[in-house]
Structure 1
Amino acid sequence: MVLVVFVAPLATVVLAGLAGSWTRALPSGLGFGRVAQAVSGENLASLSVSLQTAVVAGGLALVLGTWAAIAAREAPRWLHRLTDAVFHLPIAVPSVAIGLGLLIAFNAQPLLLGGTRWIVILAHAVLVLAFAFSAVSAALDRLDPAYRQAAESLGAGSLRVLTRVTLPLLLPALGAAAGLAVALSMGELGATVMVYPATWKTLPVSIFALTDRGQALQAAACTTVLLLVTLVALLGLGRIRGRAALR
């Protein structure tokens, strides 16, 4: 079942990206010509934009999500529930609605972000913030309070407990949250289509444009590159997470 639902479609995309043409049951003219086009020119620029957006938006989401999760844990129960609901709101609404809302809200002074890269980064950060918040909140729930109590009994203040006890124990969860944020940002399309300027076009937007023009095989090649780059980024973050878990 997993092969049919997940592996087979991805394998088809990769195969289409390597195909010179596909007019029969099987593709023909397999090679790396389309992949070479996918990592050159405008497509390469779009890939660079996607990576930059994912890193900055993922970093913002990780910092804000971690801060909110830690602060909510110390807040009254009603405020904790309210914070949880607010931070999970982007999951409950279509990403297009998030994009349109940001476009309207930040398209005039005093904070004019429309037409700049920052509105794209903000949209991605908003969309992945919920997942970062959830990952850190779940990790906080699993932390043994004895570590914190021991540190406090030895005279450590709140800031020292946070930096020397809580955050180090959260490193594996932070690594997982960062990986999820980057992966989601790399593939985001719905909100990006609503807000992106011509000078800051992500690779998913370029793939959508290729498909819209009927260039499905070239779109598949770009998608293959996107998959590989995302996988490499996740493997790198996974190694960092693994080292953190061993400490």
Structure 2
Amino acid sequence: MSTNPAAENNRVTLPPMHKRARPVERGLVARLASGLVLAFAALLCFWLFVLPVIVVALSSVASHWSGTIFPDGFSMRWFERLGSSDFDALTTSLEVGFGVAVLGTALGLWLALALEGRDRRGLGALVDMLAMVPNGVPSVVLGLAVLIAYHKAPLDLSSSAAIVVFVQLALVLPFCYRCASAALRPELTVLREAAASLGAPPSMVLRRVVLPQLVPAIRASLALGFALSLGELGATLTVYPPGFATVPIVVVGAVERGYYLPASALSLILLIVSLAALLLIAARVPRRRAG
């Protein structure tokens, strides 16, 4: 029986079944491995970040909690026992946080615009390095340095709340500066030069060209500066004057005296208020349509 040569040439030879299944098996193994890695990362994040917040929330409403997995009962008495000094500390934390965030964002944006396009050698490199120095210095050391430098006339800030704003601003400025400098893309430089070549004054270029392009970076800088200020303790604990207190200082004092549950109640209030403030800062403002 003769065979057709054309049919022999057009015949498709499939590999054995076990060889064809290998890519499918490898893909399945890769998906399982990536799923396990993702699950482990999610569990680790939950264990490190979410679980402590849950514990603080439960502690704030626990009537008694000692040696058990869950509280023995629930009560709002720790919130009811918060006094005017605790709410004064909350107000102080929010005021200092907003002030530090606004000042840090303004100074960081100014530094980033001043160094834009400059060769990062010589003076530009020196200013860039000085702006980032607080990141490499322990906060307690920075607080002690500020306290020693500004505790005598003519710049005596040791008895003023301004010294707390000053030291927190020094800690927040590097992050605000990096937020602004990362947003200064080459395209923005081209737009600035084009607007200037058309006769627009520098103030108009900044207001109509630069700032609208930097709105996301400004929001990120405000949110980051506000969050860092609310949680700052080391430098603040070193420099704060008598009669001045933020929520972290009050919480540390309560924990040192063994009042864990009242400290949890105040911490939860700070957490809720700060999250609401961060949501307001990060909220997108709808643009108005022309006409």
Both proteins in one fold, TM over 0.5: yes
- 2:94 equivalent in structure 1: 51
Greater Rg by CA: 2
Unaligned segments of structure 1, at least 5 residues: none
What CA distance in whole angstroms lies between the structure 1 residues aligned with 2:211 and 2:186? 13
Matched, 1:154 2:189: no
Could you give the per-residue CA deviations for residues 20-54 of structure 1, whole angstroms, max 9, x where no partner exists?
1111312122122212334x321101001101111
Q: Is the 8 A contact 1:14 1:221 kept in 2?
A: yes
Bigger RCO of structures 1 and 2 (CA < 8 A, at least 6 apart): 1
Could you give the per-residue CA deviations for residues 74-128 of structure 1, whole angstroms, max 9, x where no partner exists?
4332133222211111111111011101100000011010021110111111111
Q: Is the 8 A contact 2:188 2:210 kept in 1?
A: no
| Structure 1 residue 216: Cα displacement | 1.1
- 1:197 equivalent in structure 2: 241
- 1:71 equivalent in structure 2: 114
Which amino acid in structure 1 is aligned with residue 201 of structure 2?
A: G
Closer, same or farther: CA 246–4 of 1 in aligned 2, 3 Å: farther
TM-score, normalised with respect to structure 1 = 0.92
TM alignment of 1:169-188, pairs within 5 A? 169-188=213-232
- Identity, % of aligned pairs? 37
Task: Write 1 or 2 for the structure with the bigger share of helix.
Answer: 1
| Structure 1 residue 158: Cα displacement | 2.8
Which amino acid in structure 1 is aligned with residue 92 of structure 2?
A: V
Closer, same or farther: CA 131–50 of 1 in aligned 2, 3 Å: same
Q: Is the 8 A contact 1:172 1:245 kept in 2?
A: no
Q: Is the 8 A contact 1:54 1:181 kept in 2?
A: yes
Closer, same or farther: CA 97–133 of 1 in aligned 2, 3 Å: same
| Structure 1 residue 146: Cα displacement | 3.3
Closer, same or farther: CA 244–152 of 1 in aligned 2, 3 Å: farther
What CA distance in whole angstroms lies between the structure 2 residues aligned with 1:201 and 1:41? 12
- May I ask how many residue pairs the two structures share in their alignment? 244
TM-score, normalised with respect to structure 2 = 0.79
CA RMSD of aligned residues (A): 1.8
- 2:174 equivalent in structure 1: 130
- 2:18 equivalent in structure 1: none
Which amino acid in structure 2 is aligned with residue 129 of structure 1?
A: L
